[in-house]
Amino acid sequence: MNEARPIRTAEILCVGTELLLGDIVNTNAAYLSARLAELGIHVYRHTVVGDNPERLSRALKAAFEEADLVITSGGLGPTYDDLTKETVAAYFGLPLELHEASLDAIRSYFTRTGRVMTKNNEKQAMMPRGAHVFPNHYGTAPSLAIANEEGTKTAIMLPGPPGELCPIFEEEILPYLKSRRTSVLVSKNIHIFGMGESAVEERLKELMTKATNPTVAPYCKEGEVRLRVTAEGDSEAEASAMCDDMIAQICRTEVGQYVYGMDVGTLEQAVILFLRSRGLTLACAESCTGGLIAKRITDIAGCSDVFLGGCVTYANEAKIRLLGVREETLARHGAVSEQTAREMARGVRERLGADIGVSATGIAGPGGGSKEKPVGTVYVGISTKDGEQVRRLSLSSMRSRDYIRIVSAGNAYDMILHCDK
């Protein structure tokens, strides 16, 4: 293989008609992008193309017009429509030759797994002349890298199954690429709850538009905003310090009071870390959220040291019997009320012996609202030894039932994170 130059830009080219048909979710592109970013290699585009050599050839040509590196996934199998290797070899003008070590490895794989090797598997051992071949200990298709004569354009071909692609990348491709990187990218995430994307952008617009290294990019999901701060440096320590400086600037703005964590993943993960750091336990009482508060917490393995349990008390009778909500409260104020949310949170805390109890009661829709309490009206309560607090949410009736539940659960977590302030 020709002497290769440093790589700065890349495109990920995933091959397979099944991806275009939606039969398979393309997780490979997300995985490869994240790993390349850690190496300081900028991914500017993802492309998916079917098992067609002409379209693949055009996609490959377009990719190399922009990128130093093209990583392909898929199309390295033994069948007639697996043509990635042949198409890439043709792009570089390289003939295919039998790679004896790969053929021996393929034969050994079939022997080891007790399967019969067919003639067409020999196709997987045909390699472009001068290719750098990486062994595949997880399947039959070796990975490979080839470059042009100048060493300015490199193609790396990986098998499509994630169970092969990911370990091969970690064991073989990562060391190869590390030897060719010119810088390191570090990204850190600021997690925000309680301030919408447009409000965050308005307050940070000047900073975000002027920032070049590090950069600041907002990402929105239901009820939350994430700011990704990315810096490029000569070392991980340098890039990390640049990120930290930018994060400190952001946290000194109005946005800072809505930040619930750095690289914590999700609100519920932040809640578990919060409870563990203070030696506290949690219980929840849910009506309109239907168990979502508990579900999201228990999605995280090992949460039983801080989460004791919960009650889904959809009917008024259940609120009375399980949580001790007073009949008078329900008759006078209704199930969707500040008073009921208080008693639900207090009741579940006392009955389960938790340090903190949270509750949610509201109207998730699409029906059931009134002029006084329209769809989207939710009361979220929290109870501690110091008393109760309730937050009223007035979410848009145009929002979906799922959205109202998700944001209600998010507010319960947010109240937990602020309960000692």
Task: Put the strands of the sheet holding 356-362 in their side by side order.
Answer: 307-312, 282-286, 356-362, 377-384, 387-394
Task: Give the pLDDT of the chain (421 residues) as one tens digit per residue.
Answer: 555 577 889 999 999 999 999 999 999 999 999 899 888 788 989 999 999 999 999 999 999 999 999 999 999 988 888 899 999 999 999 999 999 999 999 999 899 888 889 888 899 999 999 999 999 999 899 999 999 988 899 999 999 999 999 999 999 999 999 887 777 888 899 999 999 999 999 999 999 999 999 999 898 888 899 999 999 888 889 999 999 999 999 999 999 999 999 999 999 999 999 999 999 999 999 999 999 999 999 999 999 999 999 999 999 999 999 999 999 999 999 999 999 999 999 999 999 999 999 999 999 999 888 989 999 999 999 999 999 999 999 998 788 999 999 999 999 999 999 997 6
Q: Is 22 left (phi over 0), alpha (psi -120 to 50) or beta?
A: left
Instruction: Please state, in angstroms and rounded to a whole number, the distance separating the CA atoms of residues 410 and 378.
Output: 12
Q: Which helix (H) or strand (E) holds 359?
A: strand 356-362
For 198, residues 6+ apart whose C-beta sits below 8 A from its C-beta are none
Q: What is the pLDDT at residue 82?
A: 85
Residue 259 vs residues 42, 239, 263, 264: alpha-carbon distances, Å? 28, 22, 11, 11
Instruction: Please state, in angstroms and rounded to a whole number, the distance separating the CA atoms of residues 93 and 364.
Output: 62
Which residue(s) pair with 191 in the sheet?
226, 261
* Integer Rg of the chain from CA: 28
**Predicted TM-score (pTM) of this structure:** 0.75
Q: What is the pLDDT at residue 352?
A: 98
Q: Which amino acid is at 329?
A: T
* Residue 141 DSSP class: -
Side-chain-side CA neighbours of residue 226 (13 Å): 15
* Residue 17 DSSP class: H
Q: What is the pLDDT at residue 80?
A: 81
Identify the residue whose tokens are 């080891």.
112
Q: What is the pLDDT at residue 398?
A: 80
68 by Cβ neighbours in 10 Å (0-12 / 13-18 / 19+) ranks as buried
Identify the residue whose tokens are 């429509």.
81
Of the chain, the end-to-end C-alpha distance in Å amounts to 62
Tokens of 200: 């965050």
Q: What is the pLDDT at residue 4?
A: 57
Instruction: Please state, in angstroms and rounded to a whole number, the distance separating the CA atoms of residues 268 and 409.
Output: 9
Tokens of 124: 């997987």
